[in-house]
Amino acid sequence: MLPAYLTIIERLFTELDLLLNNFVFNGYSALANYLKTPLGLSVVLYIILMGLSISQGWVKLAMGNLVKASIKLAFIYMAAMNWGWFSHNVVYFLNKGVGEIGSVLVSATPVPIPHFAGEGINGAMQSVLIEFTDIGSWIWNRGAWNNISPCLTAILIWGFGYAVILVAIFELVLAKIMLAILFSTAPLFISFTLFKTTHGFFDRWLGACVGFALLMIFVSSMLALALSISQWAIADVYLSHAINISLVGFVPVMIVGFIGVGILLKASHLAQSIGGSVSTASGSALLAGTVGGVVGSALTTLKMPAPALRATRNFMNAIRRTLNKGG
């Protein structure tokens, strides 16, 4: 039976993705079913009251604007309650896109990272974890009761090497779990765009989604750089089975460990900063404006034949008057 550390990262993320996909689907479906009736009734009531107010002259609003607003509300309601549309255009795009970007960044590192344990960022982490574990084991086996320095060196190599891997795993798992929670509550926050007073909740939700999606990208890119530096520090030691390492052989791993942990923590701060700036950019206004623009352009297209018919009628009347005068 193979040791658990040879496949632990690949198995962890495979199982995590499966569990989170089920959680997102079940949570989204449950919340959508719960909100479908009250939200639909509120939309219908809003349209009825606005139509009554316009017909009675209580509100100065053109009927075309009411039609545009009604179509916009219907589109947002459909997007919030339709899992197939949301999963294909949002969940799949973010999860698949982030994974592919991470794989591309791993392949672009200055020092090649081994991928004997798998492809992509997960395979790179698994490969470097195996190298750290094997190097520590080889050095540990050189120690004895009367020679404990190899044991201390092995412990330090394990400690600093595992620190980089564990921080990266924590950041990626955190981003995946938080995105799953945000996706499962999407019907609630998308419905907040229906009413102007609740736009701020959607803005902050959108900023959080962008922040955690960027966290996965930034962690993948910075982890690729950290693993590249780690590979530079331990490649020769790994190939020689740690035979030529000295008492202070842990120093390169220690330096790389500090650098790796530092840049991974900075990635989290950077992603959340950018995500927060997205939330202040009024994502609800962007969504509502996009939907309104599409609806408005469609209505404008429908109205285009009327001016053309009017111009043709005027032209024909002018010709008729000219012929009458000539006769």
pLDDT at 2: 61
pLDDT at 165: 87
The string of DSSP codes covering 239-252 is HTTTSS--TTTTHH
* Type of residue numbered 25: F
Q: Give 279-321 pLDDT, tens digit per residue.
A: 434 444 444 444 444 444 444 444 444 554 455 455 456 555 6
pLDDT at 68: 75
Q: Give 167-219 pLDDT, tens digit per residue.
A: 888 888 888 888 888 888 888 887 787 777 777 888 888 888 888 888 888 88
How many domains would you assign to the chain? 1
Contact 109, 83 (CB under 8 A): no
pLDDT at 298: 41
Burial tier of 60 (Cβ tally within 10 Å: 0-12, 13-18, 19+) = exposed
Q: Is residue 61 part of a domain?
A: no
CA distances for 281 relative to 68, 277, 278, 286, 314, angstroms: 24, 6, 5, 8, 48
Contact 93, 321 (CB under 8 A): no
What average pLDDT does the structure give for the chain? 73
What torsion, rounded to 10 degrees, do the Cα atoms 135, 140, 143, 144 define? -160
The string of DSSP codes covering 103-129 is HHHHHT-SSPPP-TT-SHHHHHHHHHH
**The pLDDT of residue 323 is above 70:** no
147 backbone dihedrals φ, ψ, rounded to 5°: -150, 80
Q: Is residue 180 part of a domain?
A: yes
Separation of alpha carbons 171 and 311, rounded Å: 65
Q: Is residue 75 part of a domain?
A: no
Separation of alpha carbons 226 and 174, rounded Å: 19
Burial tier of 74 (Cβ tally within 10 Å: 0-12, 13-18, 19+) = middle
Separation of alpha carbons 154 and 133, rounded Å: 9
**The pLDDT of residue 149 is above 80:** no
Q: Is residue 50 part of a domain?
A: no
Q: Is residue 187 part of a domain?
A: yes
Bridge partners (DSSP) listed for residue 147: 144
Contact 139, 150 (CB under 8 A): yes
pLDDT at 290: 42
Nearest CA to 25 out of 184, 228, 246 is that of: 184
Stretch (H or E) spanning 270: helix 251-279
Q: Is residue 66 part of a domain?
A: no
pLDDT grade for 53, boundaries at 50, 70 and 90? confident
pLDDT at 239: 63
| Residue 215: HSE in the Cβ half-sphere, 13 Å Cα cutoff | 26
Domain that holds residue 265: 4-29+85-322
pLDDT at 138: 82
Separation of alpha carbons 191 and 195, rounded Å: 8
89-103 mean pLDDT: 71
Q: Is residue 249 part of a domain?
A: yes
pLDDT grade for 41, boundaries at 50, 70 and 90? confident
More confident residue, 285 or 103: 103
Q: Is residue 37 part of a domain?
A: no
Burial tier of 228 (Cβ tally within 10 Å: 0-12, 13-18, 19+) = buried
Stretch (H or E) spanning 88: none
Contact 262, 163 (CB under 8 A): no
Bridge partners (DSSP) listed for residue 144: 147
